[in-house]
Structure 1
């Protein structure tokens, strides 16, 4: 006879779980008691559920393995919902669990009780409350299988306290893994015909490429047809190596800008991208009606969701792209002349961006563009960058800070801010030995600053650079674009964080993390270099200009 709390950990261990990220409460006390004698899984403490879910998100994305986030009842799940939304959009394989009150008195609606499975359901692939210990093995096995099957994503289990304390002799069952699929042969042939017939194709890519480690396969396709490769606006991975000569940068989330890009092309090839979704209404369609679309994704919901696909390919990018490239090369020779022209145009834009960054090296306060260019030359090739810069980075950051490996870049996928610091903690735990660098705005950092304590507690050598412009500049930029009262007066309501000013040095040191404030590029270089060489976390507050 074994208690449910030990059975649960046995199940997690057999699913390859290394860490449980959590913030415990009364409904989790049996599980915390089991961790006293658990030797295979480490419990990683976050000071609130925002940090907990963010850590699990970072770990899951960086490793591809199942992460576990353990939350406390209804309020704990509620606190984590914003980060759970981001994890859903990022396709992070996370088993989210929440302690529930004992089933024996749930009908009385005790303190902290609510219908947890219903609360979580809109943001996960599968949601369930385990009603009895006998169902725990099947529930955990199903949850792991669903989370790790493409399209990957979070799942949820509500686990009542009595399920953890009851005892039974149970068959723990076995794991199930569903292998990736390859797109239909007829769809591949149709896509190849469209791409061979195109004079000016363009490729938009998203996170599915990095997740399936398909950089080489995508590069082969782009080189064959001579097409520029853009990252979709909220791609939070290195979906295509920024060092490649056909990498054209990120596309905007604004429909007029997207439409301007598409007007230069007669065919759109979307590969694992969140295709043409926008952040604000504009009354303009991002894609002109009738524009042909080749759409490859591992999620059937995404294909043709907003724009009809002339060729719809459902399958893994890594498995499908070589077949598509082979079908194209069977019909035509590589488009060398077109490729050369596209590469020349991209190189000219890149040179202009670098020249602009270099021209701003002497600006005071520091120019974010110049700072990014400087950091791009200092960040090691094997580093993992966690980026949440919004206005300071916009659509240029990966052209200045290299993102060359599929597992080298992570950040804000869903749009909910505050992800960078907790993600960095989870990534550092999952990828020991690799430098982890955070690039974050001041406003974003304040949403989850408590993650600094976790960095300190577990001695995680993360270097966090906070670009402090003392406000929500992204909101000022969007408000000014409305051309209303703010644009006329220069007055932006509730968008400044300067009275009182935040003291990141005291805030960081209060969480146990050493910090330094820098106001010049030379000081940034010195502090950053020292941070990379150290074996403990470091926060660098970089004072940057406030230009809107």
Structure 2
């Protein structure tokens, strides 16, 4: 008995552990959508455009570590999704991106919506391929899943022509089996020993932690190393996850993504220990290197591309953090433990000063972001997941004010392309139906992907979307003012205000089917947030915040 390719595809995806297909279908996907009518093993989650669809898959993949599937429509659909695919690639999200392709029989005529999809996707994917026949489909799916889920994880792409889905598979089609490569690779013993020697010789080491720590589940192992060597722990420049618990006494926070700020931190230390962090992401050119010449670096990562990419590593270790750090910690033999109390005291003082600043601003009107964030942090349930895309409203302070404690409790915008938070919330809430999911977003970011609100409403996902509305692109104003020229002298900015007309976020919420609440005081914020938590319904809370500085 033969079986149509559309059902073969679904059988393969189910056997790879796929639970959801995130998509926005078109004509080239119609055979797949027809098969979904009788499919009860996985769900198709509809997004209203490809920006939203790709972001949903990204959120699910990051939150679970499982294979997410993103289904796009031909060349325009893939093109629309590229910005979010860039973010997913930078975050290492294991996503199988598929796009429906025109039938192989007419591709030479360059039909409507056709293009070389595999070439389009290749720069942002670990592997990209066009399936030419149903006979190739099992091997293509197996390879794609294996590559996406193998460290360092990341997106892969398959172009699937319509006639692959409509062809009939013979009885003897070999479906093959999934392959999984273990991720717990221990680092080279000699490299670990070299790292330990450098650490023992250092007088003032500092640790930078990156996404790999959270993905590896290595909080406890990294905390043990930090205590043993007496080092503060900063997050990497474009911090995406809770790479180190923000309530740990050696948590030092984040550093502005400008090399002078990074240089100022490093000037106090004689050794940089990078655990799964990139070194060092910067936003703009400043003419200053982040590290002084001759700075000693120890670098552990599961992604060899990152090790020594910008700064030479005196000890370079490719491996998994959770598997490797215990051996490194044993070899350093508590060499700096005597420093930990003093460092923790300094960091506690800095945090107390930040909280005092937030309290001092509590009476300001319009609201300042810091006291709002402090209040949300106090109201946030312990098991909540935060998706943060605040830019100017939360820069380098938000994790001190809103807890980022568990490895799976925090997600951000690793690639830097804005508009990720609302779509990611869909995938993250689907992955964690029993946990509160809270979005912290600026108004400018939210407007890139506001259509995700409809998906929240349609699937009754109780995400709380908190929009900090300063009615413009404040981070661009800050950066333009820093140039010190026309804008700084005149306090005038071109194309950086979202006004005339202002966006009516309450109408936007209503139009997409979610509850909307506008908050202008801290009491309003408290009431709105507590009501939203209790309602277990999707809610948009617009908070009117100060426009300047």
Give the TM-score category using the shorter length. Answer: over 0.9
- More displaced stretch, 51-60 vs 269-278: 269-278
Whole-angstrom CA distance in 2 between matches of 1:156 and 1:83:
14
Counterpart residue number, 2:528:
527
Q: How does 1:442-461 map to 2 (within 5 A)?
A: 442-461=443-462
Offset at 1:336?
3.1
Counterpart check, 1:221 vs 2:199: no
Counterpart residue number, 2:373:
372
Counterpart check, 1:206 vs 2:210: yes
Aligned residue for 2:388, secondary structure, equals: strand
Q: How does 1:6-405 map to 2 (within 5 A)?
A: 6-169=7-170, 170-180=173-183, 181-329=185-333, 333-405=334-406
Q: How does 1:381-530 map to 2 (within 5 A)?
A: 381-530=382-531
- Partners of 1:223 and 1:334 within 8 A in 2: no
User: What TM-score, normalized to structure 1?
Assistant: 0.99
- Partners of 2:63 and 2:428 within 8 A in 1: yes
Whole-angstrom CA distance in 2 between matches of 1:281 and 1:111:
42
The total of aligned residue pairs comes to: 545
Whole-angstrom CA distance in 1 between matches of 2:292 and 2:335:
28
Aligned residue for 2:278, secondary structure, equals: coil
Q: Which runs of 4+ in 1 moved over 6 A?
A: none
Offset at 1:135?
0.5
Aligned residue for 1:391, secondary structure, equals: helix
Offset at 1:341?
1.2
Offset at 1:233?
2.0
Whole-angstrom CA distance in 2 between matches of 1:15 and 1:441:
37
- Spell out, residue by residue over 1:52-106, the C-alpha distance to the aligned partner (whole angstroms, 9 max, x if none): 0000000000011100000000000000000000000000000000000000000
Aligned residue for 1:203, secondary structure, equals: strand
Aligned residue for 1:43, secondary structure, equals: strand
- More displaced stretch, 492-501 vs 76-85: 492-501
- Partners of 1:245 and 1:346 within 8 A in 2: yes
Whole-angstrom CA distance in 2 between matches of 1:411 and 1:420:
7
Whole-angstrom CA distance in 1 between matches of 2:19 and 2:335:
46
- More displaced stretch, 239-248 vs 164-173: 164-173
Whole-angstrom CA distance in 2 between matches of 1:316 and 1:252:
27
Whole-angstrom CA distance in 2 between matches of 1:381 and 1:344:
25
- Partners of 2:517 and 2:528 within 8 A in 1: yes
Whole-angstrom CA distance in 2 between matches of 1:385 and 1:535:
16
- Partners of 1:233 and 1:395 within 8 A in 2: no
Whole-angstrom CA distance in 1 between matches of 2:29 and 2:76:
13
Whole-angstrom CA distance in 1 between matches of 2:431 and 2:527:
28
- Spell out, residue by residue over 1:330-372, the C-alpha distance to the aligned partner (whole angstroms, 9 max, x if none): xxx3523311111011001000000000111110000101100
Whole-angstrom CA distance in 2 between matches of 1:338 and 1:216:
19
Task: Give unmatched runs, 5+ long, in structure 1.
Answer: none
- Partners of 1:249 and 1:399 within 8 A in 2: yes
Whole-angstrom CA distance in 1 between matches of 2:188 and 2:251:
28
RMSD after superposition: 0.6
Offset at 1:328?
1.1
- Partners of 1:238 and 1:403 within 8 A in 2: yes
Whole-angstrom CA distance in 1 between matches of 2:169 and 2:496:
57
- Partners of 1:210 and 1:237 within 8 A in 2: yes
Whole-angstrom CA distance in 2 between matches of 1:38 and 1:101:
24
Aligned residue for 2:393, secondary structure, equals: coil
- More displaced stretch, 255-264 vs 317-326: 317-326
Whole-angstrom CA distance in 1 between matches of 2:168 and 2:239:
46
